[in-house]
Amino acid sequence: MFYWLMNLNCAVVFVGIAYIQQSVAKNLGFLIPFTSVLITLITVHMVQNRLIYRPKKGGSLMGTFGVFINALKMCCIRYRHISGDVSSWLDRAKENHGGWYSEAHVENVKRLVRLFPLFAFQILYRTCIFQVPSAYFIQTMHSNLKLSGLLLPIAAMNVTGIIPLLLLAPFLEYVGSCLLSMHRRPLSPLVQIVIGHLFAALSVVVAGISEMHRRRFVLVEQSLSGKVLLVSSMPCFQLAPQYVLLGMAEALVTPACSLVTFRLSPASVRGISMHFMTLFNGVGCFVGAVIIQMVYLISGGDWFPNDLNAGHLDRFFFLVASFMLLNLLGLWRVSDRYRDLNREDDDQCIKGGFLADKLMEHEKSLKFYDSVLECSSTYFPVESIL
């Protein structure tokens, strides 16, 4: 519901505010979002006492980074005569290997690290999503935006990618509920992520084919924000399939990736794992900008041209699609570790240390031996033995 409402808001913004900014008044298009954010901040300040969430102790970001730093320090010092061999380099941060942190704390961080490959494979996927405000935007801008004499805003094409998301998300929820009521397993989140990555790759391929088709149309003049451009006479709605495929990919990948992250993260570091997922998504946007800049410099402005009528943007799309297919193969190789989501939350208490764990073990041992002595005295009375 969170992603559904967020995209519903985006659909309103791309149609309403984009039209106001392009056709009515440019400054008014900035004033409306500013006023909305200001009202939101005032509302959040008024109800801030109801929004405070206190996570479990020990799950701080500084504590998580502390495990990494302490493990690296112990690896550099190489206290092997104290700590011995370990299965993972993070184990050197444990107290029983000479580190500073309890075993439970380190184990929770290790479960967080297991999610990093999944986050890393989202980087190129976010690069494909990043094409909407960059390459897709330029491609739409150089197409015919007129519909029955009305000049559509460029961002209106984004709505064609949001509508499949608004329709597909409730449909998947309904199908999953029906399958559960019939005692059948619904489509797993990992399969949804793989299918979504495939749709993203197909979207970029379709964008390349559409660009080759767009250049075959006759050039016409089109006025955008007071500037006259020579654009293709191809209607912009012929670019809708690439937006639809990308919207279907987003409907499958983002909620499923959030679910996998939530289910496989210990409760104490669950918020931190969601922050890391967001961080990797942001890295994907920066990687997309770097790829565009490198392609522009290496190709001399031919594969990502300033003027689409004199360049070959389709080659850039096919390059991104090839990267995405390799990324999909890598995701499929590491997918086995994220299949089991039905495990119980075995988040461990990280308050105690190594000494407390050892004392608990000795206490259990004493209780065990007391019970053995009581049983032996029951079957063999001491008086008879004497």
Indicate whether 26 and 154 sit together in one domain.
no
Indicate whether 148 and 276 sit together in one domain.
yes
Indicate whether 8 and 149 sit together in one domain.
no
User: Which tokens hold the place of 73?
Assistant: 């320090």
DSSP 309: G
User: Which tokens hold the place of 87?
Assistant: 């299965």
Give kind and range of the element (H or E) at residue 232.
strand 227-232
Would 320 be classed as within a structural domain? yes
* CATH of residue 134: 1.20.1250.20
Q: What is the pLDDT of residue 303?
A: 87
Indicate whether 135 and 14 sit together in one domain.
no
User: Which tokens hold the place of 143?
Assistant: 């197409």
Contact 210, 139 (CB under 8 A): yes
Kindly list the distances between the CA atom of residue 219 and the CA atoms of 122, 146, 238, 250, in Å, as whole numbers in the listed order.
38, 14, 16, 33
Indicate whether 24 and 156 sit together in one domain.
no
Indicate whether 24 and 122 sit together in one domain.
no
Indicate whether 25 and 134 sit together in one domain.
no
Indicate whether 222 and 326 sit together in one domain.
yes
Q: What value, to the nearest 5°, has the Cα angle with vertex 91 and ends 88 and 93?
A: 140
User: Which tokens hold the place of 74?
Assistant: 């112990």
Indicate whether 163 and 295 sit together in one domain.
yes
CA atoms within 13 A on the CB side of 121: 25
Q: What's the alpha-carbon Rg for the chain, to the nearest Å?
A: 29
Query: Where are any strands of DSSP class E within 92-188?
Result: 146-147, 150-151
Would 59 be classed as within a structural domain? no
| Angle, helix 103-113 to helix 270-298, in steps of 10 degrees | 40
d(CA 188, CA 180): 12
Q: pLDDT tens string for the chain (386 positions)?
A: 777 887 788 777 777 777 777 666 667 777 888 888 899 899 888 887 777 666 555 556 666 666 667 666 766 665 444 445 666 666 666 666 666 666 666 777 777 888 888 888 889 898 888 887 788 888 888 888 887 777 777 777 888 888 888 888 788 777 777 877 777 777 788 888 889 999 999 999 999 999 888 888 888 888 776 677 788 888 888 888 999 998 889 888 888 888 888 888 887 778 788 888 888 888 988 888 888 889 888 888 888 887 787 888 888 999 999 999 999 888 888 877 777 666 544 455 444 444 444 444 444 444 444 444 444 444 444 344 33
CB atoms within 10 A of CB 141: 16
Residue with tokens 């961002």: 155
Q: Is 386 helix (H, G, I), strand (E, B) or coil?
A: coil
Would 250 be classed as within a structural domain? yes
d(CA 142, CA 375): 88
Q: What is the pLDDT of residue 209?
A: 92
Q: What is the pLDDT of residue 55?
A: 56
Name the CA dihedral angle for 198, 323, 258, 8, rounded to a multiple of 10 degrees.
-70
Would 37 be classed as within a structural domain? no
Indicate whether 24 and 119 sit together in one domain.
no
Residue with tokens 């993070």: 90
Would 255 be classed as within a structural domain? yes
Question: Which residue, 127, 129, 137, 155, is CA-closest to 292?
Answer: 127
Residue with tokens 């619904």: 186
Indicate whether 168 and 256 sit together in one domain.
yes
Question: Which residue, 308, 136, 149, 145, is CA-closest to 222?
Answer: 145
| Residues in Cβ contact with 55 at an 8 Å cutoff, skipping those fewer than 6 apart | 268, 270, 271
What range does the domain containing 270 cover? 108-351
Would 214 be classed as within a structural domain? yes
Would 44 be classed as within a structural domain? no
Count of residues in the chain: 386
DSSP string, 169-228: HHHHHHHHHHHHHTT-----HHHHHHHHHHHHHHHHHHHHHHHHHHTTSPEEEEEETTEE
Would 191 be classed as within a structural domain? yes
The torsion angles phi and psi of 99, rounded to 5 degrees, stand at -90, -165
| Residues in Cβ contact with 349 at an 8 Å cutoff, skipping those fewer than 6 apart | 104
Question: Which residue, 33, 40, 34, 1, is CA-closest to 14?
Answer: 33
Q: What is the pLDDT of residue 345?
A: 47
Indicate whether 186 and 271 sit together in one domain.
yes
d(CA 142, CA 313): 12
Domain count, the chain: 2
